[in-house]
Amino acid sequence: MRIAVLSGKGGTGKTFVSVNLAAVARDTAYIDCDAEEPNGHLFFKPEQVHSETVYTMLPAFDAQKCDGCRKCVDFCRFNALAFVQGKPRVFPEICHACGGCSLVCPQGAVTEEKRAIGTVSQGMSGGIPVVTAILNPGEASAVPAIKAALRATDADAVIDSPPGSGCPVAEAVSGADYCLLVAEPTAFGLHNLRMVHELVTLLNKPFGIIVNKADGVYPPLEKFCADRRAPILAHILYSRKLAEISADGELAVRHSAELRRVFLGLWETVAAEAAS
């Protein structure tokens, strides 16, 4: 069973919800898929960490075989290839490693070479397996690192998704049995909730909503959820104390009995929903 935690923007509380949920769950790993800035390890401080390099493929062109027909350049929908002085040329950070250029080349002039784009690290934190996807700086796509992190363990897991609703998020969520959408009770929070709601609806995932940093009820968000029969599973109140605990790199469920009760209840609900 895998639970993905996502939100339309950064800073809403994905990692806060993910790490605390994983901390109260039993026999469940924590997989950080926010590969551009993975923070979950700061809370878990995993030990016996080992890392593996993540590779993607990059086309290489045999100048002897290439007759300059340009089919590869015209095929590339990502515009990762340019046709300069009669030869194709690849822009590595734009390439999505689809392999299409090697398929369409009539001369067999395109081969693929491995290129390192990031790492996946794995360690243990008091019985909780902690997996972290890390994208190398400057890389355009986190998708290969996220795929590798999700494959690194077969265990049940809480998946800490990247922010937004683009390709990396879709990848992080693709194998999830249930999605938790974290939203702030503000106009901006509602806007971002709409985006992730659209994504999980499109992917046909069961989901529930957590309103985080709630300092009161924001009626438009409540109405949005009610109109779509989108269940709000919890309102986590804005609290300076929780912020301080998190800023110290501590798991809030280990310092607040009240919050621990909230997350245990949340885990029970989510586990039942995901299993049904």
Which residue, 150 or 245, is less far from other proteins as judged by CB? 150
CB neighbour list of residue 197: distance below 8 Å, 6 or more residues apart: 181, 207, 228, 230
What letter represents residue 2's amino acid?
R
How far is it, in rounded angstroms, from Cα 156 to Cα 27? 7
Which tokens belong to 14? 């994905």
Q: Which is nearer to other proteins, 82 or 202 (CB)?
A: 82
**Contact call for residue 75 and other proteins (CB under 8 A):** no
By CB under 8 A, name the one of 27, 48, 64, 85 that touches other proteins.
85
**In the complex with other proteins, which residue's Cβ is closer, 83 or 224?**
83
195 sits near other proteins (criterion: CB under 8 A): no
The one-letter code for the residue type at 64 is Q
- Can residue 82 be called a binding residue for other proteins (CB under 8 A)? yes
Is residue 78 classed as helix, strand or coil in its secondary structure?
coil
Q: Are 1 and 159 in contact (CB under 8 A)?
A: no
Return the range that interacts with other proteins (CB under 8 A); candidates 48-56, 86-94, 192-200, 240-248: 86-94
Between CA 215 and CA 221, with CA 218 as vertex, the angle to 5 degrees is 130
Sole window of 82-90, 194-202, 213-221, 264-272 interacting with other proteins (rule: CB under 8 A): 82-90
| Of 46 and 164, CB closest to other proteins | 164
Q: Label residue 229 exposed, middle or buried (CB < 10 Å: 0-12, 13-18, 19+).
A: exposed
User: Using CB under 8 A, which residues numbered 88 to 127 contact other proteins?
Assistant: 89, 91, 93-94
State the Cα–Cα distance between residues 164 and 145, nearest whole angstrom.
Answer: 17
Stretch that binds other proteins, among 49-57, 87-95, 182-190, 219-227 (CB under 8 A): 87-95
Q: Is 68 helix (H, G, I), strand (E, B) or coil?
A: coil
Among 10, 68, 100, 166, binds other proteins (CB under 8 A): 166
Instruction: Give the bridge partners for 183, in sequence order.
Output: 211
Q: Does 78 bind other proteins (CB under 8 A)?
A: yes
Applying CB under 8 A, the residues found at the interface with other proteins are 73, 76-80, 82-85, 89, 91, 93-94, 140-142, 164, 166-168
